Amino acid sequence: MPDPDLLRMLRACDRILVFTGAGISTGSGIPDFRGPNGVWKKRQPVYYRDFMSSPEARLEYWDQKLEGFEAFANARPNATHEAVAALERAGKLLCCVTQNIDGLHGKAGTSRGKLIEVHGTMAEIECQGCKRRGEPAPAFAAFAKTRTPPTCEACGGWLKPATISFGQSLRQADLEAAFGFAERCDLVVALGSTLSVHPAASIPLAAAERGAGYVVVNRGPTDHDRLPCVTLRLEGDVAEIFAPAVKGLE
């Protein structure tokens, strides 16, 4: 059965901003970077400046990315991703802003015009010189074979997945668009995020502080749990909580 308060809020609102974090994708086999068994408990992140300046750092970066590439390539959307897409089909989704780099919202059917991937995506490779993008599989296959970080065929620049690395600035256009949606929504629902990584976590907070209803759904504590602007806090598995509520709209 859907949570009655969540269902009531979804029914009452027509401009819903959904904000998603790593907790919605663990059920699809995507590793959680910051959880108790997360990637960063085993590996140290490579900072962008080091990637650009150090051959050793580039090798470590590509080694880390290769280790997780198969999981990203084979992952399929789960009930939460599908529920966000269903919310769009119901005419209620203003925008989905995701911290995730797995591309699963797009695979589930969320429209490109209603999706902002603030931390980038593993679904594309980007040249750090000319900014040309392409399919990731050939670059990963070349690195796996040669153990040499790949370069752009067009300009010779360093290639990396089109994600935002540590120390790399978020794309200003994405941030401006996300905060613009936060100004227009009548409800914001945060799903599977600890709400601890900024500036991304400031996006749902901006909506709540201007008066939009604020629902936080997560397994485990978040940095926003005790804020007075949180209208409803639900603890538990995101798919088991959010998907039935969206289905209840039918």
Per-residue pLDDT tens digits for 18-77: 999 999 998 898 876 555 555 556 778 999 999 999 999 999 999 999 988 988 888 999
The fold of 1-29+77-119+170-250 is Rossmann fold (3.40.50)
Distances (CA, A) of 216 to 73, 207, 213: 29, 13, 10
Q: What is the mean pLDDT of residues 74-92?
A: 97
C-alpha–C-alpha distance, residues 107 and 75, integer Å? 10
Provide the CB-side half-sphere exposure for 86 (13 A, CA). Answer: 17
Does 132 score more than 60 pLDDT? yes
Q: What is the mean pLDDT of residues 73-89?
A: 96
Does 250 score more than 90 pLDDT? no
- 8 Å CB contact between 64 and 166: no
Q: Which amino acid is at 12?
A: A
Q: What is the mean pLDDT of residues 81-103?
A: 97
Please give the pLDDT value at position 156.
96
C-alpha–C-alpha distance, residues 28 and 26, integer Å? 5
- 8 Å CB contact between 117 and 98: yes
Domain-wise residue ranges, the chain: 1-29+77-119+170-250, 31-74+120-163
> What is the percent of the chain where pLDDT is above 70?
96
Task: Write out 82-128 in H/E/C secondary structure.
Answer: HHHHHHHHCCCEEEEEECCCCCHHHHHCCCHHHEEECCEEEEEEEEC
Name residue 13's beta-bridge partners.
none
Residues classed as catalytic: 119
C-alpha–C-alpha distance, residues 79 and 82, integer Å? 5
3-state secondary structure of 19: strand
Mean pLDDT of the chain: 94
Q: Identify which has the larger pLDDT, 72 or 229.
A: 229
Please give the pLDDT value at position 34.
55
Please give the pLDDT value at position 72.
87
Does 83 score more than 80 pLDDT? yes
Tokens of 190: 């945060």
Query: Tell me: domain 31-74+120-163, CATH 3.30.1600.10, correct?
Result: yes
Distance of alpha carbon 37 from the chain centroid: 19
- 8 Å CB contact between 79 and 238: no
Please give the pLDDT value at position 152.
97
Contacts (Cβ under 8 Å, ≥6 apart) of 144: 66
- 8 Å CB contact between 121 and 103: yes
Q: What is the mean pLDDT of residues 210-227?
A: 97
Tokens of 6: 């969540």
Please give the pLDDT value at position 111.
97
C-alpha–C-alpha distance, residues 69 and 188, integer Å? 31
Please give the pLDDT value at position 41.
62
Please give the pLDDT value at position 46.
95
Please give the pLDDT value at position 183.
97
